[in-house]
A and B are shown apart, each in its own frame.
Chain A
Amino acid sequence: MPDAPSGARIEVEGLTKRFPGAATSAVDGIDLEIRAGEFMTLLGPSGSGKTTTLNMIAGFEAITSGRIALDGSDIAQLPAYRRNLGMVFQNYALFPHMTAAENIAFPLKQRKVGKGEIARRVGEALELVHLGGHGDRLPSQLSGGQQQRVALARAVVFEPRALLLDEPLGALDKKLRESLQLEIARLHRELGITFVFVTHDQDEALALSDRIAVFREGRIEQAGTPAELYETPASRFVATFLGDSNVFAGRVRDGRLDTGWCSLRVRDAPVVDGPGADGPVALVVRPERLRIAAAGGPDTGDNVLSATVTDVVYHGAFRRVLVRFDGGGTGQVRDTAGAGGSLAVDQRVEVSWDGDAGVLVPDDEPEPVVDAPAAPVAAGAQ
């Protein structure tokens, strides 16, 4: 064994949680392997089972069935206080009657560590989160960001081999959230232990994670690296939940996608998970993969759709151009550095992309129910 605490491998098999009286399972037989030292994010909308899964790993919720193993040994029946897993909560959960230093000393006292050793390790932990000199403050005398850093220090001071984080940045404002994101990423690098991070914020998930498991209705829809999920989503749900997308729903006929209002070339688009020849599918094209130009120019891609500009939102480095396609549906183009020339609302344009710019996925939600307002969806064949 190396000197530094190495990360634990966490395996979850057939994990199920059904709350008494509930009609469906909150967590419905999920399998997930979290590798040693990995930063794994459980991502999903509220009620998708991600927090319940984390609580079962932590030992706060009894499991209904399945297996949770830490480095191969089953911990499902072990009480929370004997699992030796660090935990960070959304509301910090600092003990309000103890100073920052006393909070951090708490797990060491439970482990009967000697006084001098406690003082030394508390000091180190405070330095680790850049709060040296704040040890004698009560939580109420610290800002939200400082409180969460004390909570982080407290959760790692006893050298757990995995740290569980339940929406730790959810209660912070945008600016603090970004600085604490960096802090958490740095802690993960420096400590080398396994992080299991729960969030509903896709940007946070993409920025921090080695791998992401996307939860939906108690199941894992897809697990993979941020790039895998973004570039080759397994379903329309994953495509629209992670990042902005243009979605063209329809059916494949003769190697082309028939949406009911247009026929699109999908020749090079990999068919993920082989949706049957007849099943509903969706072509997902990211806004940055679309090109936009004033109508009448030379055709520049495999697929060219005529459209009308409905809005142009200036973001500095890029413009977000919202369009309505002639045949039906809306879309959005991320036009970097004004490559599309001058564009005005109501202007006629052509939106184009190459056949391999999009991903064909099974259309698991034919009626769009997307709660991310930033992702306008091209309505397909009705």
Chain B
Amino acid sequence: MRSAGLRRALVALGILIGAWLLVPTLIVIPISFSGEDSFAFPPSSWSLRHYRTFFTEPSWLNALLVSIQLAVIVTVVATVIGTAAAFALSRTANRFRGVLNGLFLAPLIVPGIVVAVAVYAAFLQWGLIGTPTGFIIAHTVLAIPFVTVNVGSALGGFDRTLERAAASLGASAPATFRSVTLPLIMPGVLSGAVFAFVTSFDEVVVSLFVQSPQLQTLPVRMFTSVTNEVDPTIAAAATVVVTLTTALLTLAATLRRTRRA
């Protein structure tokens, strides 16, 4: 009986914490369907006008397209580099592995603003501010750790005997990687790729420094909207971002579950 009571209390606490985490994010959803030009909550009338603005006004639509294209490119580049790095790390002698691992995870640990300032200083020098290349490089650096962590954990569960077996059967190292190792760590690679996409798609701090008025990502456009205007279109933008990232992260979680099964 006591354990049943405790169980109920824990469930209630869990729901409370979940609500605390989610409600602020979810509250933008009803606002995005508001019929007025304000952030009033709850809205007194409903419409899709903010979505219409979002998908028709060039400054919003371009930002969305830039973000998606950028995220796709970053996903490809970061996944290739991050997978190669995780593979190399798993074959590195223990005493070097800690140091290298720390280096690869650094972008996760170093405060975003510090990275941003460093990127800004360097990119000014190299003329990369406001360029697609600048965005790709900066976002790739931030996305790589997520790929190495995911692929690294997949490789941790990978039985190296399989590589010896493949070699004994006549497969060279590249052939072994292609036909044995990669297919078996693919769930880790894919979930790393999803994280890379989301990292790029959501990134705002570094992007604020790299952006130019001509080249803005969606989060940057949202940031300037919040600071300079009172435009509820941002609620529609936020809803689009939340929906897209939630869908992708759910996909990643599903991939992880199938990997374990």
Contacts and interface: CB of A to CB of B under 8 A. Distances in A.
Given A95-B180, A96-B184, A107 B162 contact: no
B168 A86 contact: yes
Contact of B171 (A60, A96, A97, A106): A106
Nearest to A87: B168
A362 to B, nearest CB: 38
A84 B159 CA distance: 22
Contacts of A164: 168
B238 to A, nearest CB: 40
B162 A155 contact: no
A93 B167 contact: no
Interface in A83-136: 83-87, 89, 91, 93-97, 106-107, 110-111
Contact of B165 (A83, A85, A89, A111): A89
B169 A106 contact: yes
Contacts of B171: 81, 106, 110
Contact of A81 (B159, B161, B162, B170): B170
Given A80-B164, A107-B169, A155-B168, A91 B180 contact: no
Contact of B167 (A59, A94, A155): A59
A80 B171 CA distance: 9
Nearest to B161: A93
Interface in A131-158: 154-155, 158
A81 to B, nearest CB: 5
A148 to B, nearest CB: 13
A58 B184 contact: no
Contacts of A91: 159, 161
Interface residues of A, number: 27
A155 to B, nearest CB: 7
Contacts of A107: 169-170
Contacts of A158: 169-170
Contacts of B240: none
Interface string B144-182: 000000000000000101101111111111011001100
B183 interface: yes
Interface in A65-90: 79-87, 89
A106 B167 CA distance: 11
A87 B184 contact: no
A374 B147 CA distance: 54
23 contacts: A81-B169, A81-B170, A81-B173, A81-B176, A82-B170, A87-B164, A87-B168, A87-B169, A89-B161, A89-B164, A93-B161, A93-B162, A95-B165, A95-B184, A97-B183, A106-B166, A106-B179, A110-B170, A110-B171, A154-B169, A155-B168, A158-B170, A164-B168
Interface of B: 159, 161-162, 164-173, 175-176, 179-180, 183-184
Given A81-B171, A93-B159, A155-B169, 20 more contacts: A58-B164, A60-B164, A60-B167, A81-B172, A81-B173, A87-B165, A87-B169, A91-B161, A93-B164, A94-B165, A95-B162, A95-B180, A96-B184, A106-B166, A106-B179, A107-B169, A110-B175, A154-B169, A155-B168, A158-B170
> 5 smallest A-B Cβ distances: which pairs?
A87-B168, A107-B169, A93-B165, A110-B170, A80-B167
